[in-house]
Amino acid sequence: METGSPHRERAESAERQLELLIGSVRDYAIFSLDAEGRVKTWNRGAELIKGYTPDEIIGRHIDAFYTPEDRAMHRPELLLGLARKNGRVEDQGWRVRKDGTRFWADVVITAVHDDDGALLGYVKVTRDLTDRRAAEEELRQGEQRLRLLIESVKDYAIFMLDLDGRVTTWNIGAQRILGYRTDEVIGANVAIFSPEERRKGDFCDQELAIALRDGRFEHHGWRVRKDGTQFWADVIITPMHDSTGRHVGFAMVTRDLTEQRRSEDERVRLSEAQASIRMRDEFLSIAAHELRTPLTALQLQLDTIRRAEGASPRIERAARSTTRLADLVESLLDVSRIATGRMPFRWEKSDLAALVRDVGDGMLDTAHRSGCALQVTVPPVLETCCDPLRVQQVLTNLLANAIKYGVGKPIDVTLRAERGDAVLDVRDHGAGVPDADRARIFERFERAVPMRNYGGLGLGLYVAREIVAAHGGTIAVADAAGGGACFTVTFPIRQTAP
């Protein structure tokens, strides 16, 4: 028997090795087809990917691997024709396994010719890309969701810049905050959002440079809308890089903090005002305490002179002046006690009617000297638990004001029980209290416009309000019938301390 040449033997050995290699490949379906597209060979990878054993598939046409839609469009024949014409064709699409399930495949079909150029058949390589396609689809959907999310955010301006700081994307929040439509701003330099002084100072380019150097830039400052108005913004600029690390642009996030800044400024202003009020209260408290001792000594000296030498007009005027000064000092001390929550109350069961009569009797001389006819109307008895001295302090203050601002005119004081409350009215016929001042006059150092020419610090009504509030009551002012003002105090009638 004639043996083959060494060259032929080497070729056959190489062919067997290639067959063994192809047969062992698991990740690719590698098989050959005849000129009509029928399967001739079948490797292990083809069996694993497509599910057919060699004896089940060899001799069958490749249309077995295609979906009914592709077969209806004669796609298998079309691909074989392109491979025959061009020598090779590549395609991606859905393919069908033996069990009917589909997978996403990358397919390469190569035409095989003999030495004379006659078509012998085809080699087909198929790879299952289902997992990769699913991952790519998930990534695509994630990017789409992120894009839709960014585009729909209204409270933040979120957009991208190219390497030169020109706008490349624009979301609805950017349009709402900065005022530009997408077609108006794409391609514009980021400097248009900065005030003129920042643009002149080249700050915008510096911001991008710092972001690129440090990986992030954040700034609180003024920014400019399309209409020229400015707003206080929090701006964050972050450089963006592609998968290779190449710098491709910047992401910019801007938030309008104008309202927050205004609130913070207001908070600081209120804090400073409160600190100023505390300092004033402390000063008043110290001053009042310091005045109290010499004032008491002065009153004692006047009493001694009065007893030794008898009353004289000058002594009486001095005594009245010291009394007014003592009342003022006591008011200042009350303000200090209220501010620190240390105002003392002594609760006891008291007859409000008797308290009002006593205050009225005590103020008769003062009222007569001012030409005021004082009329007091109270029930025989009206008992409640209260601090009698503080209640008398409230009524004394209201009567003193009525006499001061209603000189020469009648004053009516009435007390009545009404639906579980004791209601006290003090009516004068003076200038009255304008509507705009009716809430304000109960604050510290505040007086109504008509009262400002009468002197005083504007503390009496504030102290009265706090005393009434401590009793669980209310105090208010309204127009009196026939002109003037009517101050109304309401105390709950109770048997125990509030």
DSSP 107-122: EEEEEEE-TT--EEEE
H-only helix segments in 66-180:
68-72, 75-86, 130-152, 172-178
Contact 437, 461 (CB under 8 A): no
Residue with tokens 């004896």: 55
Which amino acid appears at position 159 of this protein? F
Tokens matching residue 318: 């001095």
Which residues lie across from 158 on neighbouring strands? 253
In the predicted model, is pLDDT for residue 348 greater than 70? Answer: yes
- When pLDDT is cut at 50, 70 and 90, the band that residue 19 belongs to is low
For residue 261, report the phi and psi dihedrals to the nearest 5 degrees: -65, -40
Contact 225, 176 (CB under 8 A): no
Radius of gyration of the chain (CA): 49
Rounded CA separation 425/429 (Å): 13
- Let me know if domain 348-492 sits in CATH 3.40.1190.20: no
H-helix or E-strand containing 445? none
pLDDT of 342 above 50: yes
| 3-state DSSP assignment of residue 448 | coil
One-letter identity of residue 234: D
CA 183 – CA 238 distance, rounded (Å): 24
- Residue 129 gets the label, from left (phi > 0), alpha (psi -120 to 50) or beta, of alpha
The total number of residues shown for the chain amounts to 498
How many whole angstroms separate alpha carbon 125 and alpha carbon 295? 113
Give the tokens for residue 244: 């290779």
Asked if 248 contacts 169 with a C-beta cutoff of 8 angstroms, the reply is: no
CATH of 153-256, one of 3.10.20.30, 3.30.450.20, 3.40.50.300, 3.40.50.2300: 3.30.450.20
- The string of pLDDT tens digits covering residues 411-453 is 999 999 999 999 999 999 888 888 888 888 888 777 665 555 5
Q: Which amino acid is at 213?
A: R
Mean pLDDT of 356-374: 92
Return d(Cα 183, Cα 165) in angstroms, integer.
Answer: 17
Whether residue 352 contacts residue 329, with contact meaning beta carbons closer than 8 Å, is answered with no
- pTM given for the model: 0.45
What's the pLDDT band for 152 if we cut at 50, 70, 90? low
- Same fold for the domain at 6-129 and the one at 153-256? yes
Do 167 and 160 touch, CB atoms closer than 8 A? Answer: yes
Return phi, psi of residue 162, to 5°: -80, -175
CATH (residue range 6-129): 3.30.450.20
Q: Are 457 and 331 in contact (CB under 8 A)?
A: yes
Say which range, 2-6, 124-128, 317-321, 422-426, has the weakest mean pLDDT. Answer: 2-6
Q: Domain segments of the chain: what residues?
A: 6-129, 153-256, 262-340, 348-492
- CA–CA separation, 300 and 165 (whole Å): 84
Tell the CATH topology of 262-340.
Helix Hairpins (1.10.287)
Q: What is the pLDDT of residue 12?
A: 47
Q: Would you state the structure tokens that stand for residue 43, as one six-digit string?
A: 């490797």
**Interval 142-166 mean pLDDT:** 75
* Residue 107 confidence class, pLDDT cut points 50, 70, 90: very high
